Amino acid sequence: DAGITQSPRHKVTETGTPVTLRCHQTENHRYMYWYRQDPGHGLRLIHYSYGVKDTDKGEVSDGYSVSRSKTEDFLLTLESATSSQTSVYFCAISDPQQPQHFGDGTRLSIL
Amino acid sequence: SQQGEEDPQALSIQEGENATMNCSYKTSINNLQWYRQNSGRGLVHLILIRSNEREKHSGRLRVTLDTSKKSSSLLITASRAADTASYFCAERDFGNEKLTFGTGTRLTIIP
């Protein structure tokens, strides 16, 4: 789907451990986004990137950091995972003024 | 920005009937977009309507926009079982590429 790959697709980990999710694109799109999806909340933006090494916070950025060292990769890191970060995480990409294209998500469970 | 709301939260109709979903949003928008999400998958873009447009069609989809009421509706005509999915509206305001998603409508088409 639109050349977006999220890895891993599923992960179970323990509270307090670091977790990194990867989003890889083959479309050379400028913008990349990380969302979380929870019941009753729809999708909420965590962080986004508007270019290599250019990132900004979204609506629910506390407890998350991101990095984009090259156009094709956008990493989301939970430095010390908490149970409230159990969620489904989606990556999206877009060019300016264009709709977003989504990956198939990473289901993350923190016990 | 706050999330918009969609109405209804869930809708079940017989195959062949029309389905209408409504979306209210909070800000002055650049455009409003509709997405579909099948179970276990990422979101797929359906249609984008700009703030200076009032109606837009794409196949069996019809979207309207009323900026004075800050609302939009998505009509799916002659529904099919494959239309079973969750549908989300997303508002894009001026000056950035971020989207704010509504909480979604879960549509079930009964064969």
pLDDT digits (tens, 9 = 90+) for A85-99: 999 999 999 998 899
**Interface contact B100, partner A, CB < 8 A:** yes
Q: Which residues contact B68 (CB under 8 A, 6 or more apart)?
A: none
Residues of B in contact with A33 (CB under 8 A): 98
* pLDDT at position A12 over 70: yes
- Decide if A90 and B42 are in contact by the 8 Å CB cutoff: yes
* pLDDT at position B7 over 90: no
CA–CA gap between residue B41 and residue A54 (Å, rounded):
28
Q: What's the confidence (pLDDT) of residue B2?
A: 47
Q: What's the confidence (pLDDT) of residue B28?
A: 84
Residues of B in contact with A100 (CB under 8 A): 43, 45, 99
Cβ-based neighbour number of residue B52 at 10 Å = 9
For residue A39, whether the previous peptide bond is cis, meaning omega lies within 30 degrees of 0, is no
pLDDT digits (tens, 9 = 90+) for B10-62: 999 999 999 999 999 888 888 999 999 999 999 999 999 999 999 999 999 99
User: Is residue A2 very low, low, confident or very high in pLDDT (cuts 50, 70, 90)?
Assistant: low
pLDDT digits (tens, 9 = 90+) for B66-103: 999 999 999 999 999 999 999 999 999 888 889 999 99
CA-CA distances (angstroms) from residue B69 to A2, B19, B66?
34, 21, 6
- Do residues B109 and B11 make contact, with C-beta atoms less than 8 angstroms apart? no
pLDDT digits (tens, 9 = 90+) for A19-60: 999 999 999 999 999 999 998 788 999 999 999 999 999 999
* pLDDT at position B1 over 70: no
Chain A residue at shortest CA distance from B39: A104
CA–CA gap between residue A104 and residue A37 (Å, rounded):
12
**Interface contact A105, partner B, CB < 8 A:** yes
